[in-house]
């Protein structure tokens, strides 16, 4: 893997910041200080300033950063302006949620297809996005030039579906299945742990009270 330009933690915060800027931009806010950002995002102003400095020069004055310029700089650095076709693999649980509420998936990603190994589920689910049986993964994602997949298949299946995605030329995978996945192919895998949020919160409640 190539040398890291942005620290991991900065990428994370800048993604949160990007969303924040979209939101306050729509409200008509033009400028925002690192201190104000820290109130809204919960990180220190120092971290925010350091993160922004990785972007290079962002328009700022004594009113703070220029909202639209900062937003553009983040977008440019991270490739957000380019829409990216996406698909969902596994239509139980959280996969079903994403395929039935495609607006959950934020721009620039666009859901193009859903896959499941149960033909019955493929045929009976009623969704705004077309569904296919899993054996068609390779074919369909090549046709749609799909770059990103949400993998929500159960543990036993996850590996097989990942291989199909790789065969079809996927570039990135968000893994919502509870097993850690890795590969030596040139594919980016992000292991998400949404469902763990519940237990992590519970652990905190137990530990500090």
Partner DNA sequence: CCTTGTGAACTCGTTCACAGCT
Partner DNA sequence: AGCTGTGAACGAGTTCACAAGG
71 binding DNA? (CB under 7 A): no
Task: In angstroms, give the least distance from the CB of 28 to a copy of itself.
Answer: 14
Q: Which partner in a copy of itself, DNA, none is near 126 (CB below 5 to 8 A by kind)? A: none
Residues 6+ apart with CB under 8 A from 116: 89, 90, 91, 92, 95, 122, 131, 133, 134
How many degrees, rounded to 5, is the angle at CA 206 between CA 202 and CA 208? 115
- Least distance (Å) from DNA to the CB of residue 90? 28
The binder of a copy of itself chosen from 98, 112, 151, 162 (CB under 8 A): 98
Nearer to DNA, 16 or 187 (CB): 16
Selection from DNA, a copy of itself, none that 119 binds (CB < 5 to 8 A by kind) is none
**Of the candidates 39, 46, 92, 196, which one interacts with DNA according to CB under 7 A?**
46
**Shortest distance, position 17 Cβ to DNA, whole Å:** 12
Does residue 94 touch a copy of itself according to CB under 8 A? yes
Q: Which one of DNA, a copy of itself, none interacts with residue 26, CB within 5 to 8 A by kind?
A: none
Q: Which helix (H) or strand (E) holds 61?
A: strand 60-61
How open is the CA angle 69-73-79, to the nearest 5 degrees? 135
Task: Compute the C-alpha angle 152/91/159, nearest 5°.
Answer: 40
Residues in 21-60 that interact with a copy of itself by CB under 8 A: 23, 39-42
Asked if 33 is part of the footprint of DNA (rule: CB under 7 A), the reply reads: yes
In angstroms, the CA 175 to CA 159 distance is 10
Among 15, 16, 25, 47, binds DNA (CB under 7 A): 47
Between CA 165 and CA 173 the distance in angstroms is 9
DSSP symbol at 19: H
String of DSSP letters for 97-110: HHHH-GGGSPTTEE
| DSSP string across 95-154 | HHHHHH-GGGSPTTEEEEEEEES-HHHHHH---SS-EEEGGGHHHHHHHHT--EEEE---
Residue from 16, 22, 25, 45 in contact with DNA (CB under 7 A): 45
Residues near a copy of itself (CB under 8 A): 1-2, 4-6, 11-12, 14-16, 18-20, 23, 39-42, 77-80, 84, 86, 93-94, 96-98, 100-101, 103-106, 108-109, 147-148, 155, 171-174, 178-180, 182, 186, 188, 190-209
């Amino acid at each position: 893997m190539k040398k890291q330009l942005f620290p991991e933690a900065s990428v994370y915060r800048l993604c949160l910041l990007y969303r924040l800027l979209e939101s306050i931009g729509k409200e008509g806010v033009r400028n925002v200080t690192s201190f104000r950002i820290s109130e809204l995002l919960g990180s220190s102003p120092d971290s925010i300033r350091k993160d922004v400095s990785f972007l290079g020069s962002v328009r700022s004055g004594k009113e703070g950063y220029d909202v639209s310029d900062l937003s553009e700089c983040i977008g440019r650095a991270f490739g957000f302006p380019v829409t990216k076709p996406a698909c969902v693999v596994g239509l139980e649980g959280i996969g079903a949620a994403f395929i039935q509420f495609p607006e959950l998936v934020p721009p620039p990603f666009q859901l193009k297809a859903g896959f499941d190994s149960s033909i019955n589920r493929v045929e009976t689910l009623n969704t705004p996005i077309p569904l296919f049986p899993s054996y068609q993964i390779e074919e369909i994602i090549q046709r749609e030039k799909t770059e990103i997949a949400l993998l929500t298949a159960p543990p036993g299946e996850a590996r097989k579906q990942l291989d199909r995605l790789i065969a079809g030329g996927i570039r990135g995978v968000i893994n919502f299945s509870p097993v850690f996945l890795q590969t030596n192919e040139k594919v980016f895998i992000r292991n998400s742990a949404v469902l763990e949020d519940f237990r992590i919160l519970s652990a905190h409640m137990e530990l500090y009270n």
